[in-house]
Amino acid sequence: MSEELKRQAAAMALTQVQSGMQLGLGTGSTARHFVDLLGEKVAAGFECICVPTSEATARQAESLNIPLSDLDTLDRLDITIDGADEIDPQLNLIKGAGGALLREKIVAAASDLMIVIADSSKLVETLGRFPLPIEVNRFGLGATRRTVEAVCRAHGCAGEVRLRTTATGESYVTDGDHLILDAFFGRISQPEALSADLLDIAGVVQHGLFLNMCKKAYVAAPDGVRTLS
Ligand code: 5RP
What number is the ipTM of this complex?
0.98
Cα separation of 129 and 16, whole Å?
Answer: 30
| Number of other residues whose CB lies within 10 A of the CB of residue 166 | 9
Consecutive H or E run containing 55: helix 55-63
Amino acid in position 194 = L
Of 6, 55, 85, which is best to mutate to test ligand 1, by the most ligand atoms within 8 angstroms of its C-beta?
A: 85
Q: List pLDDT tens digits, range 178-226.
A: 999 999 999 999 999 999 999 999 999 999 999 999 999 999 999 999 9
| Predicted confidence (pLDDT) at residue 7 exceeds the cutoff of 80 | yes
Q: List pLDDT tens digits, range 83-108.
A: 999 999 999 999 999 999 999 999 99
pTM of the model: 0.97
Ligand 1 atom at shortest distance from the alpha carbon of 117: 10
Amino acid in position 162 = R
Mean pLDDT over each residue of the chain, to the nearest integer: 97
**DSSP classification of residue 189:** S
Stretch 25-43: mean pLDDT: 98
Q: How many CA atoms lie within 13 A of 216 on its CB side?
A: 16
- Residue 54, pLDDT score: 98
- Residue 1, pLDDT score: 63
**DSSP classification of residue 172:** P
Report residues whose beta carbon is within 6 angstroms of any ligand 1 atom: 26-31, 82-85, 95-101, 104
| Predicted confidence (pLDDT) at residue 175 exceeds the cutoff of 90 | yes
Of 95, 115, 175, which is best to mutate to test ligand 1, by the most ligand atoms within 8 angstroms of its C-beta?
A: 95
Amino acid in position 149 = E
| Number of other residues whose CB lies within 10 A of the CB of residue 165 | 13
Cα separation of 48 and 17, whole Å?
Answer: 9
Stretch 148-171: mean pLDDT: 96
Residues facing 116 on adjacent strands = 82, 217
Q: List pLDDT tens digits, range 55-85.
A: 999 999 999 999 999 999 999 999 999 999 9
Q: Among residues 192, 29, 191, 206, which one has the least CA distance to residue 102?
A: 206
Cα 5 to Cα 9, 118, 226, distances in angstroms: 6, 8, 11
Q: What percentage of the chain reaches a pLDDT higher than 70?
A: 100
Cα separation of 27 and 35, whole Å?
Answer: 9
Q: Which residues carry a binding-site annotation for substrate?
A: 27-30, 82-85, 95-98, 122
- Residue 158, pLDDT score: 87
